[in-house]
Structure 1
């Protein structure tokens, strides 16, 4: 099995290695094809740029001419709008002068909100006052000077929104003197000083003109006349395109973008370092990962602008620092499948070895069990045989006292033999699931006391001291009284077997978290950690060194664990070598 497993592992390694080499070859071909495609695109793009530049020069001249025409048209429209604006303002001034000539005092109301609030609303008319300066009158007669008189409100109130943009004037009615209260007045209304729509239209046209005037008018005229020296130089440079240095011919952003597209189209999505060189110097370096020196197997190079009359103008190189990781990543499914297969094979191999060793161990344990069982059965059978032969003696049979004692011995040994057989049968029923359990109310405190009472002779024979602490207030559980009594019997019996002379046994009960805890503790030989992990296995018996008086089949604790689990409980054990052992059973109390 080991040779076969190693052979499979070797075959898997060879297969994975060959697959890696094949993927590396395909990767190299794909990267070289991508580099050649990018170099061809860059060369084609340069030729297309030359043709496009010539076309754009013609379009630029036409575009400049159209822009100049549009500028002239907008300027003409602005002039016409300003003339209309001037005419409207002149008409307004004529009406205002006529109004001033008609009345002695004409005060313009600059704020239409003031008019709507204090003069047009009857609630606030009394709040309006006229302010005269001291030099506004001469000999008590008002002088015509609007700068010497003004309107104001003696109390501030929220201003009302203006209904229109008309110009309004405050005109006192009657004689006006300094400090005299103006009781009567008139309001005259004239059209607005300027048309707001017309003003906004002029501003909009001016903004359009500013946007069009990106270049000055003189520059536009120079371009149209063909005398712009920069334009002539650009055109000449485009004609001599192939004679420019590589740094001016190459577009690094375009190269990088196209290389990424070409690699992605070939299912290569990996970080790379990029380098562009001319004949003597490095023009551009892009490090997507570590800038370490590239190894030859991870570096790929192609020439740029191969169609030049002279030798190639430059080289484009790309380097993949994590090429190995990327190729291994592409083989994830294969590696995972191979690893899974190997794990299955190793698992089967390990399981087979484990099963063989376990079966060997079980075989040894069953052999010990058969030996123990033979010994346990042999003793009562031999006792019964001796007692039976004694009863066949007429002299002994005639003695009623001796015959009765021998009959009692035969009965006790039969009971003992029946108990051994029942214990083995119960374990067999548990394994097959055929054991029928009753579910009745059982008082654990009473049960523990009854089991101790039934073992009184055995306890006295071994000089055992039993300390009872039955403190559980709720001791009723749902279970089978017979099997639960057997559980306690087995635990107490083990405490007697694995204790030195005069065993000290403690039996406790208490309530916690809706359960009853039953503890059977002794101060016997105890167990180590390895023994603790095996005590609930069938046929396992704790070795007792030079002691040979410990009887049993190794089935008691397995029986205890199974019965407790069937009633929804669990068993815990704590033990120290040469200090004793404590078994704790937790069973759910009745609702």
Structure 2
């Protein structure tokens, strides 16, 4: 497309250049005619004279003193001298070049170029073949011309010499030209380019729009592909997460119907507890999905109360300590914040901490070591949750807070979850006008930093 547009723009410039050349050539021809008309005014004078006066126009080889007899009075002598001056260019054409009036030439050029619609600054000059230099440049007579060095008007003369716009003067009736009229347009190139500027701008805008649409379309396609893959991953994981408790419930129900179990109330009570636990697990999973849907639609309200982040962190740690201890790991709290009181939603902030701790446990299969730290910062409190797990790549860090995104560990189901936890963390932190960031190095672990202001100006 760009090549085609460039081709037509070049064609447009070439066409405008041809049109411009035609206009200048036509203007120069008319100026030439005006100059020759000025030099030939003697024709009208000759026709108005009587026979005796017409004899003055005959060219005779007799000396002037024989022609001018005493019978001619002073008045006739003056007329004769005037006619000789007007017709002298027929005898010696070089004289005609000196009859050109610089003011008249300037006026002729201005009028004819305007008539042709050429409105550009220009330099012009009259070049004499005899002296090989310019007798007139830009409306000024050149005096004391250095013929050997051609110094008239310096750079102007050089431009005129190389100009493509030149026309011979006084070369009619087969006579050799005695000189030429030359004109040069310093800003011709920029004028020709500006003549296609609207088309050029339109072309650039159109090309830019096409490229933008192309890039946007490709980006949308790639984004939709990623979303589709994440949704497929989500469905697969959701199916797996629901399949396990359903299978457990089914097995427990079959056990209760076993005649051997029916006679043992303790066994029935045990299987009933298993069914309740798995049912509660399924309800929690469903609630997570519904919760993230409400968050996406902004269909939730924060119950803002005064709370202490040190207390919430301590409770979250105690709730997770049993799971961590079973895995042979440790969790350590460094509650350094001395001004940990903020205003926020206690339930949602607690869920945020549980999600981060759950995430640290999931992605620390070998060496489970978690630290949680609170500290005072300007206008708020920071919570840092660090682990020594598998860490993340740079690509993972860019997308870690996207909904449904889960860090790959080489096996789809070795890490449970829907990929909603960190998305939830981001939404809730933003709703409190806080911030969340992450630092991670592959194979060395991750560190999540939460910031909650003491008194958020807005609560979404």
Tell me if TM exceeds 0.5.
yes
Mean Cα displacement is larger for which, 9-18 or 404-413? 9-18
Secondary structure of the corresponding residue to residue 273 of structure 2: helix
Secondary structure of the corresponding residue to residue 435 of structure 1: coil
Match of 1:16 among 2, 9, 13: 9
Match of 1:407 among 272, 289, 294: 272
Give the Å deviation of 1:561. 1.4
Match of 1:581 among 429, 443, 446: 446
Give the Cα separation in 1 of the matches to 2:159 and 2:372. 76
Give the Cα separation in 1 of the matches to 2:270 and 2:324. 22
User: Which residue of structure 2 lines up, in the alignment, with residue 550 of structure 1?
Assistant: 415
Unaligned runs of 5+ in 2: 42-80, 135-151
Give the Cα separation in 1 of the matches to 2:105 and 2:129. 18
User: Does the aligned pair in 2 maintain the 1:246–1:278 contact within 8 Å?
Assistant: no
Mean Cα displacement is larger for which, 274-283 or 409-418? 274-283
Give the Cα separation in 2 of the matches to 1:239 and 1:516. 109
Give the Å deviation of 1:582. 1.5
Give the Cα separation in 1 of the matches to 2:156 and 2:451. 64
Secondary structure of the corresponding residue to residue 379 of structure 1: helix
User: Which residue of structure 2 lines up, in the alignment, with residue 203 of structure 1?
Assistant: none
Match of 2:129 among 272, 279, 289: 279
User: Which residue of structure 2 lines up, in the alignment, with residue 464 of structure 1?
Assistant: 329
Match of 1:495 among 360, 370, 379: 360
- Are 1:29 and 2:4 counterparts? no
Secondary structure of the corresponding residue to residue 180 of structure 2: strand
Q: Residues 292, 30 of structure 1: CA spacing in aligned structure 2 closer, same or farther, 3 A cutoff?
A: closer
Residues matched between the structures, number: 394
Give the Å deviation of 1:426. 1.3
User: Does the aligned pair in 1 maintain the 2:97–2:179 contact within 8 Å?
Assistant: no
Match of 1:523 among 388, 406, 421: 388
Unaligned runs of 5+ in 1: 1-5, 49-235
Q: CA RMSD in A?
A: 3.7
User: Does the aligned pair in 2 maintain the 1:290–1:321 contact within 8 Å?
Assistant: no
Larger Rg: 1
- Are 1:427 and 2:292 counterparts? yes
What does 1:111-150 correspond to in 2, within 5 Å?
none
User: Does the aligned pair in 1 maintain the 2:160–2:183 contact within 8 Å?
Assistant: no
Give the Cα separation in 1 of the matches to 2:153 and 2:164. 14
Secondary structure of the corresponding residue to residue 499 of structure 1: coil
Give the Cα separation in 2 of the matches to 1:426 and 1:566. 14
Give the Å deviation of 1:516. 2.1
Secondary structure of the corresponding residue to residue 181 of structure 2: strand
TM-score (norm 2): 0.73
Give the Å deviation of 1:479. 2.5
Give the Å deviation of 1:250. 5.8
Deviations 1:401-424 (A, max 9, x none): 433332332222222211111111
Give the Cα separation in 1 of the matches to 2:426 and 2:16. 58
Give the Cα separation in 1 of the matches to 2:439 and 2:262. 53
TM-score (norm 1): 0.58
Deviations 1:244-297 (A, max 9, x none): 768865677986797578657766565656554222513245647996995xxx
User: Which residue of structure 1 lines up, in the alignment, with residue 369 of structure 2?
Assistant: 504
Match of 2:225 among 352, 357, 360: 360
Give the Cα separation in 2 of the matches to 1:575 and 1:289. 73
Deviations 1:191-237 (A, max 9, x none): xxxxxxxxxxxxxxxxxxxxxxxxxxxxxxxxxxxxxxxxxxxxx89
Give the Cα separation in 1 of the matches to 2:215 and 2:158. 44
User: Does the aligned pair in 1 maintain the 2:97–2:178 contact within 8 Å?
Assistant: no
User: Does the aligned pair in 1 maintain the 2:123–2:160 contact within 8 Å?
Assistant: no
